[in-house]
Chain A
Amino acid sequence: MSDSATSRKEAISTSTPSGQPGVLVAAVRVAKRHHLLVRWSHWLNVPILLGLSLSGISIYWASPIYQHKPDPLTGNFDVAADIGIWICAHVPGLQHYSSPPDWIYNHLSLGPGMLASALRLHWLCAYAFMLNGAVYLAGLVAGGGWRGLLPRRTDVLDAFRMFRYYIGLPLAKLARRAWPHPVFSTKYNALQRAAYFSVPMAGLFSVATGWAIHKPMQFHSLVAIFGGFDTARVWHFWFMWVFMLFVIPHVVLVFADGWDTFRGMIVGWSARVKRSEVHGS
């Protein structure tokens, strides 16, 4: 997700590979950006988190966190059902939707009334998610990538510079003015680092709150840390939205940033070597 107009060009140096004397072939300089295990666990998170979210919202259906007094006409008490009813009333083409209260569950989950199937899928994905997290950590250690994620003292100021860059970018484009990307000598800029540090943390807290509400008696001390059983459920629910809210800008910025960044997470190599020249932090 790194983006800089300054280092778009692949760094090319000329050398003479052995075996072809006299023929100049441009050799490409590449940097090892992501360890194999980091790449694997990164992509495996896509189906796993999708499975966890779909089944999670189906589990939510059985006892919604956000409820109100039952509606005297319909008996509905679920805020998610209210949202579905509102969507079907206001979005063109949905006026004749068969079951407006189920709209949210039909579109964001496995469906209403599927608690048993949802729990089975949730456990399968939850154990896969924990194993995948261990693979990710192993990759961070093996590739040394964990150091690039650590917060540092300059982060607040640098995050502000990045923030200003993103805010001003559309205006600068419209005005056809140059709007240079702030220069960093690190693998990630401060905003990326904040995101790539927070998301694994959100994963850790999702797992911890998950265990707290899954085994509230054996792990009652963990439940107490999260403010009790009902509060731990609320935390668990909102950690899911942390992932959802991260994924949107994450995907948008990868597209904006281009091929090298995307290839970096598949092949592991980046041809943008300039920004890999890290001289301490």
Chain B
Amino acid sequence: MNKRARDFLREQLLPQFEVDPQMLRRRTRRDVLLFGAGAVAALAGGGSLLPQDTLTRLGLRGKMNPPMKEWLLNRALRIDDDVAEALYSGNRMVPVYTKSQITPIKNNYNGATPDPGYVPGWHLTLDGLASGESVALDIPSLITRFSILEQITRLVCVEGWSAIAWWAGLRFDDLLCAYPPASQAKWVRVESSVNLDASGNPDPYYVSIDLATARHPQTLLATHLSGQPLTVEHGAPLRLLAPVKLGLKNVKAITRLTYVSEEPRDYWAERGYSRYDGI
């Protein structure tokens, strides 16, 4: 290292000066009081940001919901979604894996797994098309009309687990080319009417997908898992596979796609999760 670099990195004498002891006392008193006030404010402000359930468990009765709380937490969620949207690039491919890297994938249906009775009569309805008409497609027509691609990618759940799985299906983009959405459409509402809640009652599932994600080359409408047609556990006969989104956007047993201009409702966003969910 040359001398100039050494001098630049060398620890230097801390700046020193003389003060009147009274001045030191006054300054100390002022700063310690400010510090104390800051600590109290941080305790109250930070504490009130904790979820209501946590505060109740801590024994703090009564609602602790300052008006800023929801606004601030939702703002952080929106900023994070905006960051995710800015990071997204239609040209950036997600990593693909080999068959030896496949890991088990669990059935993570939030409620009960639907009864397979819906499968024989299943069809996919397309709404919001440029033609203004509603189109119904069944599995044989989807498989014969579109080329089926294989893809081994990772599915990442909001819970933190992930699975590398071998999927096959048609490109969402190919369906968009064959049945173009209305020109003002920016979103797809992806819906499964066969979804059930934990007690087995109908609980239609719906998510929002931006058209940019739908057009990503690795976004599939999957028909197969591990070389076999999808089982009911994994969304027979057709599920969304958008590896650039969290698993909760990868709707199983899709029954309807609706192209819309305004951001549609989202099942999990209504339950306190984020909306864009790009990963």
Contact = CB atoms under 8 A, between A and B. Distances in A.
Contact of A217 (B28, B54, B243): B243
B76 A124 contact: yes
B14 A121 contact: no
Contact of A120 (B17, B54, B272): B272
Contacts of A155: none
Most B CB atoms within 10 A — which of A217, A219, A263?
Answer: A217
Interface in B63-90: 72-74, 76-77, 79-80, 84, 87-89
A215 B278 contact: yes
A135 to B, nearest CB: 15
Interface residues of A, number: 67
Contact of B11 (A214, A230, A233, A278): A278
A140 to B, nearest CB: 13
A159 to B, nearest CB: 16
A147 B10 contact: yes
A117 B51 contact: yes
Interface string A122-135: 01100100000000
Given A187-B11, A216-B279, A106 B92 contact: no
Contact of A123 (B77, B88, B156, B160): B77
A177 B75 CA distance: 60
A273 B16 contact: yes
A207 B156 CA distance: 19
A50 interface: yes
A199 B14 CA distance: 22
B38 interface: yes
B13 interface: yes
A30 B27 CA distance: 12
A251 interface: no
A59 B18 contact: no
B46 A27 contact: no
Given A28-B24, A114-B53, A144-B12, A120 B244 contact: no
A258 interface: no
B42 A117 contact: no
B274 A119 contact: yes
Contact of A116 (B9, B35, B160, B273): B273
Nearest to B81: A123
Nearest to A106: B57
Nearest to A144: B12
A108 to B, nearest CB: 12
Interface string B45-56: 010011101100
Contacts of A229: 154, 156, 162
A253 interface: no
Given A32-B15, A127-B80, A215 B87 contact: yes
B9 A27 contact: no
B28 A267 contact: yes
B28 A281 contact: no
A116 B87 CA distance: 22
Contact of A30 (B12, B16, B274): B16
B272 A117 contact: yes
B159 to A, nearest CB: 4
A126 B181 CA distance: 38
A54 to B, nearest CB: 8
A115 B158 contact: yes
Contact of A60 (B28, B38, B158, B160): B160
A31 B57 contact: no
Nearest to B79: A127
B269 to A, nearest CB: 10
Interface of A: 13, 15, 17, 25-33, 43, 46-47, 50-51, 54, 59-60, 62-63, 106, 110-111, 114-121, 123-124, 127, 144, 147-148, 150, 186-187, 213-220, 229-230, 233, 263, 266-271, 273, 276-281
Interface of B: 9-21, 24, 27-28, 31-32, 35, 38-39, 42-43, 46, 49-51, 53-54, 57, 72-74, 76-77, 79-80, 84, 87-89, 92, 94-95, 154, 156-162, 243-244, 268, 271-274, 278-279
16 contacts: A27-B18, A30-B19, A43-B39, A106-B57, A116-B271, A116-B273, A118-B51, A119-B77, A123-B79, A187-B14, A216-B162, A217-B278, A218-B92, A219-B87, A263-B32, A281-B11
Given A32-B15, A114-B53, A124-B72, 10 more contacts: A30-B18, A60-B160, A110-B53, A119-B158, A121-B49, A127-B80, A147-B9, A218-B88, A269-B19, A280-B10
Minimum-distance CB pairs A-B, first 3: A116-B272, A63-B160, A124-B76
